[in-house]
Amino acid sequence: MSQPELPAARYAQVIVDVPMPQPLDYRIPAGTTAAIGALVVVPVGRRRHIGIVVGNSDCTAVAESRLRELGAPVGGLRLSPRWLELCRFAADYYHFPWGELALPVLPPALRRVPSAKGTRRRSTPVDLDPAPVPAAPPSAEAAPLLRDEQQTAIDAIAASQGFAPFLLFGVTGSGKTEVYLGAIARVLATQPHAEAAPDMPRDAAPATVPDTTPGLSDPESPGAAPGPQVLLLVPEINLTPQLHARLSARFPAHRVVSLHSSLSPAERAAAWLEAHNGRAQIILGTRTAVFASLPCLRLIVVDEEHDASFKAHGGVPFSARDLAVKRGQLEGIPIVLGSATPSLETWQLAQAGRYRLLQLAQRASGGTREPVMETIDLQRDPADNGLAEPLREALEQTLARGEQALVFINRRGFAPVLRCGACEWLSKCPNCDTFAAYHKVGAALRCHHCGWTARVPAACPDCGNQDLQGVGQGTQRVEETLRKLWPQARIARIDRDNTQGARGANRAGAAFDAVHAGDVDILVGTQMITKGHDFRGVTTVGVLNADAQLVAADFRAPERLFAVLMQVAGRAGRAGQASRVLIQTRYPHHPLFGALARQSFEAFAQEQIEERRAARMPPFVHQALLTAAARTLEQAIDFLRRCRELHEGLPQSSAVTVFDAVPMPLARLASESRGQLLVEAPRRADLHAFLNVWLPLLRDMGNRGVLRWAIEVDPQSI
């Protein structure tokens, strides 16, 4: 006996990018349905928004007279239940409305509201149906011969069943990328499922971009089931071109796409849809790519998992690394976190057996000589124009041998501050509690925090003295000094100043290509040059201004300094040559430099973990940071004090510690004064239980001059 057909749902629950804690209810027009995961146009107030249907029902608590009608579906796109589940988890964990997280992580072209008259804006057409690639082209790059420890790591990842988190801990140059590629090859070699992947809605119409972006339509997908997919996350955009080319060469029969914010809206939407429809098998991206729609995801890799760039700032402050682990759990697949200097949180989980530790102890080149790590005592050998005599001698010897050198200073511009020697005027930013850096190239003063810029004054604004001097060192000044010392040398500089803008990525790529080709003798740069680059000819590395981070107030500063020094040291001697790393410091006997000289991350990590355990710091406690911005610091601090008072008497308050309100380390930024309030709990569950009760009280409280406030779970800077 056939079952009676159930009546169609009358109401749809929709999430929208507005500060609403719950989905909004809409009336489903008669004769239509509202598929869960569909993008729709809905009215909110006087405006129309793109929303996502997350539920439907036969009843609603909203009065019928107040209900508005659900608009038409947009583009035929259906987001899967697991994608919605990931976004819902992230929204709950970081205590933001579901819609304020889920909508912004979609490509901009997918969330544009179609015009009321159905007109279309002009845009460049993008082909989303690329011609099939030959199955086994003769130009495929052969995999290199692997060492036993690399093969063991690949075998362990490939043999894992279900959710399996791995920490791939390998010294710089040990061939972690080859392990990633080997694991990817194993995944891609598996057979696609006979039926559509469970994450792909079976009745979904072919996805298209909204009609505001013509030419981005997604033609009907082929009938074959999508093949397995791999997500590879990297911390910075400038790492993607080189890695994209390497992936394409190794896997020419599979589609590789990149996802990051430097792509045009059309390119980003095209790549996202190729991933969503299963046509792209390898998805390479920065942190937002963790939210890519991947119906057949079988492996996640997070390279340089310790990198702070995986934590978002502005909007929802999510950690792409942490969400990648959660996504691996939701999908029931392995995830590989790779680093030569893992974050202490990840290292502790591996030591506790929560993550499986895979170790690469040798460099892949076959050379057994690690770079010799040396400190230069600046109190004994003072720096002249930023360079101490031992470093100058080392650079001179390197050039004489016809080898390459790298000079690292994590400070761009010519000098951190411009100074008047007559009256001690300093180039302060008018909007921030910091100095505007002197950029000799372009003759500008620039604040690296708020972006304020001005021409360099011809004379001191206070006393009229025309003899203004730059104080300290930046990449531009170091480059100028090197050119004066060695005018015959080929010197290149890579930092954000000369690689930003529409053509910045091309300039950076050309500069890196020149280094790889041996057309550069000395490379000067910031952290951009320390990650993921295989400079085969570099035998000498000089590190300037390491002490700035060593004496920073942030308790994570030593961990970050050790990581960046290990990274920059790893650029030397990658072809097996004898190499040196010289670090200029006023504190040569600091324990950090001792562990660095032994190249022992384990010893450094153990010392740091014991210090944090004794001081009750992460990973032994869990934190949330409440920040407030106001016109005056008094207003910000007063608001935070009232927030602190609200926690008293809450049943959940006994499990947490709420500290006093204090100014932020950079108390004034972009003409706003800022304060912060730290909340801490020994158990993660207790912290979230408290926030679930406390934050609604804050939303109901009057702001009294506060411009805005925000909560950040698991803050990376305090």
- Tell me the pLDDT tens digit for each residue of 569-600: 988 888 778 999 999 999 999 999 999 998 89
CA distance 667 to 708: 15
- State the average pLDDT over residues 15-29: 94
Q: Is the pLDDT of residue 286 over 70?
A: yes
Residue with tokens 């500290």: 659
pLDDT confidence of residue 216: 36
Of 244, 251, 229, 282, nearest to 137 by C-alpha is 251
Is the CB of residue 481 less than 8 Å from the CB of residue 487? Answer: no
Residues in the chain: 718
Least confident of 352-356, 476-480, 574-578, 639-643: 574-578
- The helix or strand, by DSSP H or E, that contains position 56, with its residue range, turns out to be strand 47-57
The mean of the pLDDT values for the chain is 88
Is the CB of residue 166 less than 8 Å from the CB of residue 349? Answer: no
Q: Is the pLDDT of residue 125 over 50?
A: no
- State the average pLDDT over residues 340-344: 96
Q: Is the pLDDT of residue 121 over 70?
A: no
> Measured in whole angstroms, how far is the alpha carbon of residue 191 from the centre of its chain?
32
pLDDT confidence of residue 172: 84
Residue with tokens 């082929």: 222
The pair phi, psi for residue 54, each rounded to 5°, is -120, 0
Q: Is the pLDDT of residue 131 over 60?
A: no
176: confidence class by pLDDT, cuts 50, 70, 90: very high
pLDDT of 644-679, one tens digit each? 999 988 988 899 999 999 999 999 999 999 999 999
CA distance 178 to 186: 12
Q: Is the pLDDT of residue 368 over 80?
A: no
Domains contained in the chain, CATH given: 11-80+94-104 (3.40.1440.60), 148-360 (3.40.50.300), 372-415+472-612 (3.40.50.300), 622-713 (3.30.70.360)
pLDDT confidence of residue 31: 86
631: confidence class by pLDDT, cuts 50, 70, 90: very high
CA distance 394 to 541: 9
Residue 689 DSSP one-character state: H
pLDDT confidence of residue 12: 95
pLDDT confidence of residue 362: 85
Q: How far is CA 276 from CA 145, 218, 499, 532, 675, in A?
A: 34, 11, 31, 28, 41
Tokens of 237: 């955009």
Angle at which helices 176-188 and 240-250 cross, to 10° = 50
SS3 560: helix
pLDDT confidence of residue 137: 45
Q: Is the pLDDT of residue 163 over 80?
A: yes
Q: Is the pLDDT of residue 139 over 70?
A: no
Helices (H) and strands (E) in the chain, counts: 17, 28
CA distance 69 to 73: 12
Strand order in the sheet with 256-259: 256-259, 282-285, 229-233, 297-303, 334-339, 164-170, 356-360
Is the CB of residue 170 less than 8 Å from the CB of residue 360? Answer: yes
pLDDT confidence of residue 52: 97
509: confidence class by pLDDT, cuts 50, 70, 90: confident
Q: What is the DSSP string of 435-487?
A: BPEEETTTTEEE-TTT--EEEPPSS-TTT----EEEES--HHHHHHHHHHH-T
Identity of the amino acid at 572: A
CA distance 79 to 204: 9
Is the CB of residue 251 less than 8 Å from the CB of residue 189? Answer: no
Q: Are strands 522-525 and 657-658 parallel, antiparallel or unpaired?
A: unpaired
CA distance 437 to 428: 9
CA distance 221 to 207: 9
- State the average pLDDT over residues 70-83: 91
Q: Is the pLDDT of residue 359 over 80?
A: yes
Of 676, 691, 661, nearest to 628 by C-alpha is 676
122: confidence class by pLDDT, cuts 50, 70, 90: very low
pLDDT confidence of residue 552: 82
Q: How far is CA 357 from CA 75, 88, 618, 653, in A?
A: 44, 30, 21, 37
Q: Collect all residues with Cβ–Cβ distance below 8 Å to 191 and sequence separation of at least 6.
A: none
Q: Is the pLDDT of residue 341 over 90?
A: yes
Least confident of 104-118, 174-188, 584-598, 682-696: 104-118
Alpha-helical runs (H) found in 574-711: 591-597, 601-615, 633-647, 684-700
| Residue of higher predicted confidence among 560 and 135 | 560
Residue 541 DSSP one-character state: E
The pair phi, psi for residue 575, each rounded to 5°, is -100, 10
In the chain, % of residues over pLDDT 90: 72
Q: Are strands 672-681 and 657-658 parallel, antiparallel or unpaired?
A: antiparallel
Identity of the amino acid at 424: E
CA distance 715 to 709: 15
pLDDT confidence of residue 534: 79
pLDDT confidence of residue 354: 97
187: confidence class by pLDDT, cuts 50, 70, 90: very high
pLDDT of 427-470, one tens digit each? 999 999 999 999 998 899 999 999 999 999 999 999 999 999 99
- State the average pLDDT over residues 8-29: 92
Is the CB of residue 174 less than 8 Å from the CB of residue 363? Answer: yes
CA angle 52, 55, 60 (to 5 degrees): 115
Is the CB of residue 616 less than 8 Å from the CB of residue 663? Answer: no
197: confidence class by pLDDT, cuts 50, 70, 90: very low
Q: Each residue of 249-262: b (16+ CB within 10 Å) or e?
A: ebbbebbbbbbbee
